[in-house]
Amino acid sequence: MSFTAAPIHDMLIRIKNAYLARRREVAWVYYSTFKENVLKLLKQYGFIMDYRVDESDPKKKMITIVLKEVENANNDIPVIKFFSRPSRPRYVGYKQIRPVAGGKGIGILSTSEGLIAAHVAKKKKIWWELIAEIY
């Protein structure tokens, strides 16, 4: 594994590539609590089946992501759009938050209340950094 400046982008692209290759899981993803929170959102909204944290080595925790089976390539393979980068965060107000793909997807926002979906942030009138949209 090599170092990447944007670990969340790396993890999401690895998930998308695994779906394109019709894999059942993504293994050897380095652990962070931020990644785990993103995975909780993806699991909650049905983009992945589950994930496991391997804590056999406490210095190097790893995540294994279990994916759904691809039945229809047009609907089951996610599209990912990145907005914030480590060098340039993108902040949005709650009035600027729009439905993602007509309500079919989610936007991931990093707020003062933690990571939440964009439509939830709009209802709560919270604004902060827009990480990505997945649909």
The pTM of the full predicted model, rounded to 2 decimals, is 0.89
Q: How confident is the model at residue 48 (pLDDT cuts 50, 70, 90)?
A: very high
Pair of tokens at residue 113: 């209340």
pLDDT tens track for 72-122:
877 788 999 999 988 899 999 888 888 898 888 999 999 988 999 999 999
- Average pLDDT, integer, range 29-41: 95
Quick one: pLDDT at residue 36?
96
* DSSP secondary structure letter of residue 102: G
Q: Cα–Cα distances in Å, from 58 out to 8, 29, 61, 62, 65?
A: 21, 15, 6, 10, 19
The interaxial angle of helices 7-20 and 33-44, nearest 10 deg, is 40
Percent pLDDT > 90 in the chain is 69
Quick one: pLDDT at residue 75?
79
- 116's CB contacts (< 8 A; 6+ apart) are 41, 109, 124, 126
pLDDT at 3 over 90: no
- Average pLDDT, integer, range 37-43: 96
Quick one: pLDDT at residue 97?
86
Phi–psi pair at 31, nearest 5 degrees: -85, 140
In order of their start, the domains of the chain are 1-77 (3.30.1370.30), 79-135 (3.30.1490.10)
Residue 76, Ramachandran bin (φ over 0: left; ψ between -120 and 50: alpha; else beta): alpha
Query: Among candidates 47, 44, 41, which has minimal Cα distance to 66?
Result: 47
| CA separation for the pair 96, 26 (Å, rounded) | 33
